[in-house]
Structures are given as structure tokens and as C-alpha cells.
Amino acid sequence: DDSKKDPVEELQIEDTEEEVQECETFTTMDSLMFRLVVDAVTEQEGSLNTTKIGDVIEELISLNSERKRSLFHKGFLHSIDNQPFELNFSGANEERRCWYMTGFIVGLARLNRHSEISSMIKANRELNRRIISNTEIDCGRILLQSIPQILFDLGEHSILITLVNHQLNRLSSPSIIKLTNFLYSSGTSLLRINSYQEANGYFDSVHSIIEQKSDLFDDTFKAHNRRKQGQTLQHKGQFAEAKEILTHLIKEKELGDKPNAQADIGLIEGNFRSLRNILPSGKSDNSPKIISSLRKGRFHFEESIKAHGDRAINAHFCMGVLELLSNTKDNQKACDHLSFSYGGMMK
């Protein structure tokens, strides 16, 4: 019966062990202890039981009071062995609690008990803040490598961005590249569902990383992220900031979407937040207002079409709607523009 299957059997050991091994503070002993905990909980042949492993961890903690990272293993064991989360243990102080909570969260992450991570963060906001901001110990770094996707799925966007801001420089270059790509794709996902404020935070974070680690990223990626920043600001109604970004971008050879970036500038001139806003409302005749606004951006639509032809999909659409709503005698122009736009959208 799968419904009764022990979740520990699904423990994602490989990913977790890699995070432990990449932690500069951890030693061979920590890697061994981590493996012993997992073997005990999953009842591998020849392994100690969880009670004895708990005793080993407590002895390790007592033998060296300065070895605070040993509390990671206590938290990890309690988590994957379904023991209670307990911060008021003997000898507890802030740093030891940070290590314990980090181990507990990593265990929950590996068991896919994501809702419990959210509850734990909310119940321990101050301790979580200290884990995130502390760069003297490796707790924040471990979480940055362990739970970005989980924080995103939980909607804890501000916590994730803050974690990135504090811990980024402690990652290796390959890890920074991997994380930055994740942040970019996360922002793109939010943009698609109209979560503009949250998306803007991700694209701003990517831009900040690129500014700090410019040598890790090519110019095309940099341009694409700036394009997303411009789009997000436009959707938020921050037209001046969006126009400044896009005006600079259309001069950059690395940007592959120049036709639509220039069309966006035209939309901004008319105070349109997106392409869908140029369509007339079914509830009232707002065509005159749309016509007036589209005319303000006409220069940019025509320039985009002139420079890029059939690739100027959005510019053709804007001009098609403008010609159609203007009730000009030459409806063929509207048909041609809309046909070019439809053809491009279908490719």
C-alpha cells in the first residue's frame, strides 16, 4: 500500500550529501555522521538504530563544545526520524540553534515535507533571519544550496531573495551560475502569471548578480534579463524606468528581441502596460482613447516594422489595431498588419 509507505524511503540522499560535502566547515567526520544517520533511519543492514545514533551525536557534541556544527546532525536526525523540533536543548545558544534548525530544514526538504518548512520559518522568523544573514557560519550557505526551489514553491520570495543577497558570495562559480539561471527562470514564470511585483524582485536580483560577477555571464544573457526587467516595470506602470532600460537595449547587438522591445517603447508612450491593453473593452466604447494612445507610439511601431519587417510581430499588431479602430477607408492596411502579426505568433 503506497499510502502507508514510509517517507524516509524516499530520502534524496545524493543531493543532501553533496550539500554537506560542499560545506567548507564540514569535515570527513561530518560526512560520515550524515551517512550514519541516514543508514540508521532507513534501517540499513548493519547500521546502528536511531537511539544509538542519537547517543553518538550527543557524545560528539559533549566532547567538543566549540564544534557547534555537530548540532546540524542532531537537527537532521530529529527531522528525518520524525522527532519533535526542539530548540531548548542543553547548552543551546544562538549559533547552536542555527545549526540545529538548518539540519532540521534540510531533513524536511529531503523528505519533501515542504509545508512544514514554511510553518517552521513562520514560527521562528527571528532565528531564520539570523541564519540567512550570518556569513560567519555555513548555515545560510547550506540553505541557499538546498531549498531555493522549495522557497519559490512556497511563495516565500522575499526570504529567498534575501538569502541570495547575503549568501551568494559564499558559493562557487558553477553554483552561482546555476542559481542565477534558476532565479531568471523563476522570474519568467511569475511574469507569465502576472505576478509582476514578485517577478521584478527576481530579475533585479539577477541583474545585481551579473553586476557583481560579470565574467560568469555572456552579454546575451545580460541583455535578456534587462529586457525582462523592462517588461516587468512596464507591467507595473513604472513607464519612465521601463523606457530607459528598453531604449538602451534596442541599441545593443546582443538583444535578439529588438523588434518587440521597440514596440514596447511605443506602448509605453501611450501608457499601455501590455499588448492586451490596446484591445477595446466589451463594456464600453473606449476606442477613441485607445486610438489617441496608440498614435503616441506610432513612430516606434513604424520604426520597428521598417527595421525588422515580419519579425516586428507586436508592432504589426499595434498598427493593425490602430488602422482598424481608426475606421480608415483602406482596411487592407489593417488586414496586412494583423496577418503579419498572426503569422508571427503562430510560428
Cα–Cα distance for residue pair 245/226, rounded to 1 Å: 7
Q: Identify the pLDDT of residue 267.
A: 97
Give me the phi and psi of 282, to 5 degrees please: -75, -15
As a whole number, mean pLDDT of residues 279-307 equals: 88
pLDDT > 50? residue 275: yes
Q: What's the average model confidence in pLDDT over 268-277?
A: 94
| 24-50 mean pLDDT | 83
Cα–Cα distances in Å, from 259 out to 177, 186, 254, 304, 310? 28, 24, 13, 5, 9
CB 180 within 8 A of CB 210: yes
| Averaged pLDDT, 189-215 | 96
Per-residue pLDDT of 311-345, as tens digits, reads: 899 999 999 999 988 876 668 888 989 888 887 77
Least-confidence region, from 194-198, 282-286, 326-330: 282-286
Q: Are 245 and 226 in contact (CB under 8 A)?
A: yes
**Pick from 231, 237, 236: nearest CA to 249:** 231
pLDDT value of residue 14: 46
pLDDT of residue 8: 45
Task: List the single range of 104-118, 206-220, 277-291 with lowest mean pLDDT.
Answer: 277-291
The rounded percent of the chain whose pLDDT value lies above 90 is: 63
Residues 6+ apart with CB under 8 A from 50: 40, 41, 77, 81
pLDDT of 130 = 95
Instruction: Please state, in angstroms and rounded to a whole number, the distance separating the CA atoms of residues 129 and 133.
Output: 6
Give the pLDDT confidence of 95-139 residue by residue, as tens digits: 999 999 999 999 999 889 999 999 999 999 999 999 999 999 999
Cell digits for 324? 482598424
The confidence score (pLDDT) of residue 344 equals: 74
What whole-number distance in Å separates Cα of residue 302 and Cα of residue 269?
A: 14
Average pLDDT value over all residues in the chain: 88
Residue 81 sits at the vertex; the CA angle it makes with 80 and 84, to the nearest 5 degrees, is 100
